[in-house]
Amino acid sequence: MKIAIGGKGGSGKTTIAGTLARALAEARHNVVAIDADSNPNLAATLGIPDEAAAQARPLPRELIVEVADEKGEKRRTLGTPPDALVRDFGVPGPDGIRLLMGGRVGHAGVGCMCRAHANVRVLLSELVGGDWSGREIVVDLEAGLENFSRGTPRHVDAVVAVIEPYFRSMETARRVCELARELDIERVYGLANRVRGDSDRAMIEEFCEKNGIALVGAVPWDDALVEAERQGIAPIDYAADAPAAAEIRRVADVLVPNGRP
């Protein structure tokens, strides 16, 4: 199962992605987390120490190669097998998680992140069969819509759009879901976040129903998440039984049932 988390910047998608990955790993799934944001912060929400995260090497720019089939038609593929990438570039995290970093902006004026997006897209296309059939992949997408125009999440099984109860966040989530369907992604969901009460939940439910978005859950506003971020601690480590963490665990069970090997 390959799950991509998207949404408007500041909607809490990275916190959702990291906590979802941890919830799956706690349930004994073999999890690889991919930070596809050019301003990577997924390590913190996974519970990977800053020192280890600082040493993480982004996927190499020269990762993709062109190969020709027997008819001479060229296709793009990985120059390094996925297992070797996880071994050589994966940062170990709690509960057996391995974190891969798509790319990061290191200096001003060095150009666009097109290659990093392409690397993640091709990597996701290769994570099928063999040993990967028993792994769960959680991808923290870059905020906004450009990753969909580039087709970065084209090869995932599910997209979850994080929705806060205000207009700009809901509109971004609507576009995320529309673009995910254009990429022929089979499972597309909305996930309400920072829900303060019944009126917030009703607003998002009405919006999702109007726009044909399947709502997979509603994560409540939770001061424990705020304090965890202030202290630089993974939410699931700071308050494992807090309401927000409990709801994300429930969503993890819906997306990837625990009965699956």
Structural domains of the chain, with CATH? 2-255 (3.40.50.300)
What average pLDDT does the structure give for the chain?
87
**Rounded to 5 degrees, what angle do the CA atoms 212, 145, 67 make?**
110
Task: Answer yes or no: is pLDDT of 179 > 70.
Answer: yes
Indicate whether 69 pLDDT > 90.
no
Residue 112 has pLDDT above 60, yes or no: no
pLDDT at 66: 67
Residue 138 φ/ψ, nearest 5 degrees: -120, 125
Longest Cα–Cα distance in the chain: 60
pLDDT at residue 107, rounded to an integer? 38
Helices (H), strands (E): how many in the chain? 11, 10
- Residue in the structure block whose two tokens are 């999890």: 31
* CA–CA distance, 123 with 117 (Å, rounded to integer): 10
Under 8 Å between Cβ of 219 and 193 = yes
Predicted model pTM: 0.89
pLDDT over 90 (residue 203): yes
Taking 70 as the threshold, does the pLDDT of residue 242 lie above it?
yes
Specify the range with the lowest mean pLDDT, choosing from 78-87, 161-170, 205-214, 234-243: 78-87
Nearest one of 205, 180, 154 to 7, comparing CA atoms: 180
For range 184-205, the mean pLDDT? 96
Using only C-alpha atoms, the chain has a radius of gyration, in whole angstroms, of 18
Q: How does strand 135-140 pair with strand 30-35?
A: parallel
Taking 80 as the threshold, does the pLDDT of residue 38 lie above it?
no
Which amino acid appears at position 22 of this protein?
R
Q: Which helix (H) or strand (E) holds 4?
A: strand 2-7
Which whole number is the average pLDDT over 3-12?
Answer: 94
Candidates 13, 9, 20; CA nearest to 162 is 13
Per-residue confidence (pLDDT) for residue 261, from 0 to 100: 35
CB within 8 A of 183, min separation 6: which ones?
148, 151, 153, 154
Q: For the ranges 176-180, 201-205, 236-240, which has the lowest average pLDDT? A: 236-240
Q: How confident is the model at residue 119 (pLDDT cuts 50, 70, 90)?
A: confident
